[in-house]
Amino acid sequence: MKKWLSTRAPAGRIAYVNGRYLPHGQAAVHIEDRALQLGDGIYEVTNVIGGKPIDEEPHLDRMERSLRELGIAMPMGRAALKLVMREMIARNRIPDGLLYLQVTRGASKRDHVPPKDAPRPTLILTMRSQDLAALAARLDKGIGVSTQPDIRWGRCDIKTVQLLPNLLAKQAAKAAGAFEAWLVDDDGYVTEGSSTNAWIVDEGGTVITRDLSNAILPGVTRLIMLEAMAEAQMKVVERKFTVAEARKAREAFISSATGAAVPVVSIDGQKLGDGVPGALTRRIRDLYAAKAGLKNA
Ligand code: PDD
């Protein structure tokens, strides 16, 4: 059995499922859970630094929105959920890591139509440490992206657990020697990364990221970065950009809770600019870090 799946919980890792804190390897959901059977659920990921969930309120705002859009009830009130999050951080003894929250429509007889008498939503929390050395290397050296067709559905603004197109794109990107996939719509515009938002900086130093719509996830890191950039009076435009435009950009980067403003230094194997992380990307990372209360960013 894989180490992380062992019923002898590795180093006391704890998961939370529907009111119970359990050794990670023993935590389980019902086989009729609608997320397993039908992908009927949503998730959130927050970075945890110094024992504190980063950008906690906007992540919970988005979680509530995702649930509302799908007609799934919040499994508990926000204050109670925040207590569970803190309990998870404490029990796992991971002050710096990633906290995952999943909410599904619950377990019921398999049927495409959600049951009239809504089952109790399933709430799952798991935690793991981040490979900070690997992240530091990405920040230092930058990453490559590989453009892939965006074959996802029409509601990419909802953070659902249905991630197959994202996985396939990331797998293809990896096979092409890149770290992330940039998803491209039918008109040649970049929507976002497989698990990140996409940004470029043009020749004049204007920062560009796609405007919000059903085509992309409203990234929390994106939101806080935009606020930080507005406060710093940086030039920012929210609009879509093509792959051709990205290739000519001065800088590019990706953003997510798992890595703020990670520099992009190549697109489809072609060097971007001089092929090293850009100064504005660094500045945006610092601005974000200061606003979000990250240390050592
Ligand atoms: N992904 N776009 C997509 C498709 C994402 O899955 C994510 C996050 C983002 C960035 O959102 P945020 O800044 O709120 O993390 C954009 C998470 C980290 C994941 O799936 O692991």
> Ligand 1 pocket: which of 195, 221, 284 to mutate (most atoms <8 Å of CB)?
195
144 in the same domain as 92: no
Q: How many domains does the chain have?
A: 2
283 in the same domain as 140: yes
pLDDT tens digit string along 84-101? 999 999 999 998 899 999
Q: What is the CA radius of gyration of the chain?
A: 20
- Whether 4 has a pLDDT exceeding 70, the answer reads no
What is the residue with the minimal CA distance to atom 5 of ligand 1?
Answer: 195
pTM (predicted TM-score): 0.95
58 in the same domain as 41: yes
118 in the same domain as 173: no
Name the packing angle between helices 56-70 and 220-231 (round to 10°).
Answer: 130
Distance 225 CA to ligand 1 centre (A): 14
Where is the domain boundary, 114, 129, 144?
A: 129
CATH of the domain at 21: 3.30.470.10
pLDDT tens digit string along 218-270? 999 999 999 999 999 999 999 999 999 999 999 999 999 999 999 999 999 99
Asked if residues 124 and 102 have their Cβ atoms less than 8 Å apart, the reply is yes
211 in the same domain as 112: no
pLDDT tens digit string along 128-163? 998 889 999 999 999 999 999 999 999 999 999 999
Cα atoms in the Cβ-side hemisphere of radius 13 Å centred on 131: 5
Q: What is the pLDDT confidence band of residue 7, given thresholds at 50, 70 and 90?
A: very low
pLDDT of 3: 56
What is Dmax (Cα atoms) for the chain? Answer: 59
CATH of the domain at 200: 3.20.10.10
275 in the same domain as 221: yes
Where is the domain boundary, 99, 129, 159?
A: 129
What gap in Å lies between CA 91 and CA 230, rounded to an integer? Answer: 38
Q: Is residue 297 part of a domain?
A: no
111 in the same domain as 217: no
Q: Any residues with Cβ below 6 Å from ligand 1, and which?
A: 45, 192, 195-197, 217, 219-222, 255-258
243 in the same domain as 202: yes
284 in the same domain as 146: yes
- Is residue 159 part of the annotated active site? The answer reads yes
- Whether 26 has a pLDDT exceeding 80, the answer reads yes
227 in the same domain as 252: yes
Cα atoms in the Cβ-side hemisphere of radius 13 Å centred on 98: 14
142 in the same domain as 74: no
Q: What is the pLDDT confidence band of residue 293, given thresholds at 50, 70 and 90?
A: confident
What is the residue with the minimal CA distance to atom 2 of ligand 1?
Answer: 196
146 in the same domain as 96: no
17: domain range? 3-129
